[in-house]
């Protein structure tokens, strides 16, 4: 599983995360999420794996693409809100700015249809400042749509 960020229509790579609470079948991660950025979750799975997600009571959209021999790439990148699909961003989910307000903004459930094994991952979006404060790690730099490769000659 990886957590990716998007600015506008441009993918900007992986978002760092910190696991801060785990138990059998359950884990919880902190994700820094800036205003102007959207989050999407990528899960490469075997064919029998089912991936679902929700933000509170609202479902997350799951796109499934073939990823290779007997594997799928399952992507969760939107939340259904009042009949519309919205990006997972600071407008569609609560982003904590204080340790006392951290919740489980998103939950991803990964299930194996053959064994009935299930793993739940709670994703707690937090401000970059809170992420740095709690993890001791720097949050990713600010990025824009213009930061990607522009077609210039590479060395």
Q: What pTM was computed for the model?
A: 0.86
Question: Do 27 and 17 touch, CB atoms closer than 8 A?
Answer: no
Phi, psi dihedral angles at 52 (to 5 degrees): -135, 160
Confidence at residue 149, expressed as pLDDT on a 0 to 100 scale:
59
Residue 127 DSSP label? -
Residue pointed to by tokens 């991803």: 108
Phi, psi of 95 (to 5 degrees): -115, 115
Residue 152 reports pLDDT greater than 70: no
**Domain map (residue ranges) of the chain:** 16-137
User: What is the CATH T-level fold of the domain 16-137, as seen in this structure?
Assistant: Immunoglobulin-like (2.60.40)
Q: What are the tens digits of pLDDT across the range 108-146?
A: 999 998 888 899 999 999 999 999 999 999 998 887 666
Mean pLDDT of 21-25: 75
DSSP 49-111: EEEEEEETTEEEEEEEEEEETTEEEEEEEEEEETTEEEEEETTTS--BSSGGG----EEEEEE
Cβ contacts of 138 within 8 Å, gap of 6 or more: 132
Q: What is the pLDDT of residue 77?
A: 93
Rounded to the nearest angstrom, the gap between the alpha carbon of residue 147 and the centroid of all alpha carbons in its chain is 21
User: What separation in angstroms does the CA of 113 have from each of 48, 75, 146?
Assistant: 6, 18, 42
Which whole-number Å values give the CA distances from 34 to 2, 62, 90, in the listed order? 17, 23, 7
Residue 10 scores a pLDDT above 80: no
């Amino acid at each position: 599983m990886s957590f990716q960020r998007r600015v506008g229509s441009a993918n900007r790579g992986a978002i760092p995360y910190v696991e801060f609470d785990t138990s059998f079948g359950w884990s919880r991660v902190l994700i820094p999420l800036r205003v102007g950025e959207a989050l999407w979750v990528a899960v490469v799975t075997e064919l029998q794996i089912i991936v679902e997600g929700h933000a509170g009571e609202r479902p997350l959209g799951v796109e499934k693409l073939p990823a290779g021999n007997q594997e799928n790439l399952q992507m969760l990148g939107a939340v259904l809100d009042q009949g519309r699909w919205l990006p997972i961003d600071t407008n569609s989910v609560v982003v904590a700015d204080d340790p006392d307000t951290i919740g489980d903004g998103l939950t991803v459930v990964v299930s194996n249809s053959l064994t009935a094994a299930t793993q739940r991952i709670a994703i707690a979006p937090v401000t970059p400042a809170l992420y740095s404060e709690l993890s001791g790690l720097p949050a990713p730099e600010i990025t824009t749509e213009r930061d990607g490769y522009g077609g210039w000659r590479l060395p």
